[in-house]
Structure formats: structure tokens, C-alpha cells
């Protein structure tokens, strides 16, 4: 399946209804003429009906591209949210009455992702409360969370990275549509910006070429990654190699594919908007997201 065929087919799957060729072209980012040719190909392959809905064959051909699982890195201390995180892990803090982690789990479930893993460390037993709402969650324990950077959490989950999302657990997902069921290749989520002082992804022709703190004409990074089967296999080995190298335990895990082994990965940058996700990293960010914390 070509990339354009994939984009049109998954657009039809997401929208779940008859769409004009112009609407499809706008949604996918190609010309109406291209859409016309692709729809003819999809019809000939019996992947779609005349009403532009997917057939059984259409779903079968998409199956290898389906996200199988999601891994949340939730082991950290959340020290910049003290004193709140003395008794509550940051992912379980409520924003607008809802736990931060719930917003991402609900988005994953809406995308049909049923395998959910949470790497926990700080106040790990408190994460058990999630099981009453999400009994399918499986926990991975990170005993080194207080002595290392988040690469130790990636080490705990390194065998689960094929056809998998990996994301930080302090992200409030405001737009569930950023978590998708099907992926043509590995990707990361970023907002196009002219300038930022935050972590950002540099890129060329839509492919990530580096990860750095601060940049110009780049993408503000939200730590939401998807890894296909091939890259998930490589990541397992590369995370191990970096973790066991001198100073490796102090690294951020996503530096592994986007810096140390960047030439071995083709990670697409999936554009999104700042409004799609709210990162809760500091008390000021929490107060901006929920006025109930304004008196702290």
C-alpha cells in the first residue's frame, strides 16, 4: 500500500461516513485529482464500498499498521510540583476534575488500543486505584526511578515497543484524536513554531533529524511517540546499549532514537496544535490549567 492510499483509507476509517472528494483532499492534503485516482484504486482492490466505507478487506489490509499497545512512563518524582507530589504521583493529579493519566488512557481506548502499560516508581501503590476504572492496565515496576533519568523506565518497557505508543504520563490530552489507531511509520507529535526555548524536534521534509533544547523553525515536542515493529525491535537494543554505557543512566530515553542513533530511524513529525495537549510540568502550568490550584 502506498502512503497516499494509506492516508485516504485511514481518513475514511476515521471519519466513518461518506465524504466528498474535496473534503477528502483537504483532510489528507492532496489534490482532488489525486483523491479520484486513489479512490478508484481502493475500489478496484475491494477495500472500500461505493459509499466510501471500509470493507472487510479494507480493515484486513490496515491490520499490520494498527497500534497494539501504549506505554506510559509514570515513574518520576514530579519534584517541580511539590508539595502536591509528596503524596500523589503527578500522573494522578486531577486537572478539571479528571486525573491527568485518565485523559491519555481514554484517548488510547477510543483508538482501539487495549494493551495499556504503566511504568511506575514514585508512590507506586497509588497507581492501583486506576484498576477500578481500567482493569486491563498492566504495571511495570522501575526500582531505579530515584537514581536515574527516564531511560530507566524505557528499559523496563523495552520489550514492548513494537507497534506501540510511548508517552510521558504528565500530558493532559485535550484532543483524543491525536492518538490514532493506524500508523504508516514511526512518528512523534510536535507543534510547528518559529522559536522555542523548550524541547523541540528539528526536521527535514517532515522527518525528525534531531532533538534539542530550544530552536528556531522547529517543532515544539510533546513526548508522544509511535514505533512500528521494525523500529521497536531496534529501540530495544539501542536503549540497552545507551543505558549500559558510561553516563547512560542519566539520559533522556528519546535521545536514543533522535540523537545517538538518529541515522538508523526515519521518524515522521506529526503536526498538532498547542491546544491538543497540555503538559503539566510545573506548579505554574498546573495553575494555568486549573484555577482550583491558584491558592497554592
Residue of 191, 28, 160, 169 lying closest to 95 (CA atoms): 169
CATH topology of domain 3-64: Arc Repressor Mutant, subunit A (1.10.10)
Position 95 scores a pLDDT of 95
CATH architecture of the region 66-293: Alpha-Beta Complex (3.90)
pLDDT of residue 265: 97
pLDDT in tens, 240-289: 999 999 999 999 999 999 999 999 999 999 999 999 999 998 999 999 99
Q: In the prediction, which pLDDT does 82 show?
A: 87
pLDDT of residue 294: 83
296: pLDDT strictly greater than 90: no
pLDDT in tens, 23-37: 999 999 999 999 999
pLDDT band at 16 (very low <50, low <70, confident <90, very high): confident
Alpha helices in the chain (DSSP H): 3-15, 21-28, 32-44, 56-62, 100-110, 151-156, 229-243, 255, 283-289
Domain range summary for the chain, segments of one domain joined by +: 3-64, 66-293
CB burial string 50-88: b at 16+ within 10 A, e below: eebebeeebeebbeebebebbbbbbbbbbeebeeebeeb
**Other beta carbons within 10 Å of 191:** 20
Residue 130 has pLDDT above 70, yes or no: yes
CA distance 193 to 222: 13
Give Cα separations from 116 to 76, 124, 163, 166 (angstroms): 18, 16, 13, 10
**pLDDT of 17 above 70:** no
Task: Please state the rounded mean pLDDT for residues 207-220.
Answer: 95
Rounded Cα distance between 232 and 222, Å, is 19
Is 214 within 8 Å of 198 (Cβ atoms)? yes
Residues 30, 67: Cα–Cα separation, whole Å: 25
Say if residue 295's pLDDT is above 90.
Answer: no
Mean pLDDT of the chain: 95
Query: Could you give the percent of the chain with pLDDT greater than 70?
Result: 99
Q: How far apart are CA 64 and CA 226, in angstroms?
A: 14
> Residue 123, exposed/middle/buried by CB under 10 A (0-12, 13-18, 19+)?
middle
> pTM of the full predicted structure?
0.94
Residue closest to 164 by CA, chosen among 172, 174, 154, 173: 154
Is 66-293 the same fold as 3-64?
no
Amino acid at each position: 500500500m502506498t502512503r497516499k492510499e494509506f492516508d485516504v483509507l485511514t481518513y475514511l476509517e476515521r471519519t466513518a461516513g461518506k465524504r466528498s472528494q474535496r473534503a477528502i483532499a483537504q483532510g489528507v492534503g492532496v489534490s482532488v485529482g489525486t483523491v479520484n485516482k486513489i479512490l478508484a484504486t481502493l475500489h478496484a482492490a475491494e477495500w472500500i464500498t461505493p459509499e466510501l466505507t471500509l470493507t472487510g478487506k479494507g480493515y484486513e489490509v490496515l491490520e499490520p499498521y494498527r497500534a497494539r499497545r501504549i506505554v506510559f512512563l509514570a515513574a518520576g518524582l514530579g519534584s517541580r510540583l511539590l508539595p502536591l507530589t509528596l503524596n500523589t504521583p503527578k500522573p494522578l493529579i486531577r486537572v478539571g476534575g479528571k486525573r491527568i493519566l485518565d485523559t491519555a488512557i481514554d484517548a488510547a481506548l477510543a483508538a482501539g488500543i487495549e494493551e495499556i502499560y504503566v511504568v511506575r516508581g514514585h508512590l507506586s501503590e497509588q497507581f492501583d486505584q486506576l484498576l477500578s476504572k481500567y482493569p486491563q492496565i498492566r504495571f511495570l515496576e522501575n526500582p531505579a526511578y530515584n537514581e536515574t533519568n527516564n531511560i530507566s523506565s524505557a528499559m523496563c518497557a523495552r520489550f514492548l515497543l513494537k507497534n506501540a505508543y510511548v508517552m510521558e504520563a504528565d500530558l493532559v490530552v485535550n484532543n483524543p484524536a491525536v492518538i490514532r489507531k493506524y500508523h504508516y511509520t514511526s512518528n512523534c507529535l510536535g507543534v510547528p513554531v518559529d522559536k522555542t526555548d523548550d524541547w523541540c524536534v528539528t526536521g527535514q521534509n517532515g522527518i525528525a533529524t534531531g532533538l534539542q533544547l530550544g530552536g528556531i523553525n522547529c517543532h515544539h515536542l510533546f513526548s508522544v511517540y509511535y514505533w512500528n515493529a521494525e523500529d521497536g525491535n531496534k529501540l530495544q537494543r539501542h536503549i540497552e546499549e545507551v543505558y549500559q554505557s558510561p553516563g547512560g543512566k542519566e539520559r533522556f530515553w528519546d535521545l536514543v532514537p533522535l540523537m545517538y542513533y538518529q541515522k538508523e530511524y526515519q521518524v515522521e513529525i506529526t503536526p498538532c496544535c498547542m491546544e491538543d495537549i497540555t503538559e503539566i510540568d510545573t506548579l505554574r502550568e498546573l495553575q494555568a490549567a486549573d484555577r482550583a490550584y491558584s491558592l497554592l
